[in-house]
Amino acid sequence: MNKYLDANGLLYVWEKVKGQLGGKVDKVSGKGLSANDYTDEEKRKLAGLSAYTLPAATAEVLGGVMVGAGLSISGGVLSAQSAVWDQISGKPDLALKSDITGLYRFKGSVADIAALPGEGNALGDVWNVESTGMNYAWDGQQWDALGSTVEIESISNAEIDALLAG
């Protein structure tokens, strides 16, 4: 069962967070995020990173990324050659956008399941059934529910305590 955090639960969590923040260490003026506990050599290395730039694009490298088979760089643009498309096209387990755009066709709403049309249906016809709040699709022989209702309840303060205890 799924649960949600309602307004009372959120207020409870906020109070818990404020309580935990009571034990935090405040920032000390002039120290930033640390007491500079790393070495001078490490500090110089970090300071030098501001001047770092990625290598220029070449036939083999684009910004530090190696170019693989079927890919090329021209004028700084990475391109896939037709050989890459040939590797994925013609695979029966892959669907193109054109294969799935007409999968379902919404037809309208009916009051209840008994009002779903019994004939003249095409594969993929979908009707909303108001009494259940669900959609039903024609599978070629019968109406098939496209989902189910989900009950969601709020999380309790005891469950919040258990989550925050870890």
pLDDT at 19: 85
Q: Which residues of the chain have pLDDT under 50?
A: none
Q: Burial letters for 39-63: b for 16+ Cβ neighbours within 10 Å, e otherwise? A: eeeeeeeeeeeeeeeeeebeeeebe
The pLDDT tens digits for 109-157 are 999 999 999 999 999 999 999 998 899 999 999 999 998 777 788 888 8
**How far, in Å, CA of 56 to CA of 140, rounded?**
57
**How far, in Å, CA of 117 to CA of 136, rounded?**
11
Amino acid letter, residue 81: Q
Measured CA distances, 40 to 28, 36, 47 (Å): 21, 9, 10
User: What is this structure's pTM?
Assistant: 0.39
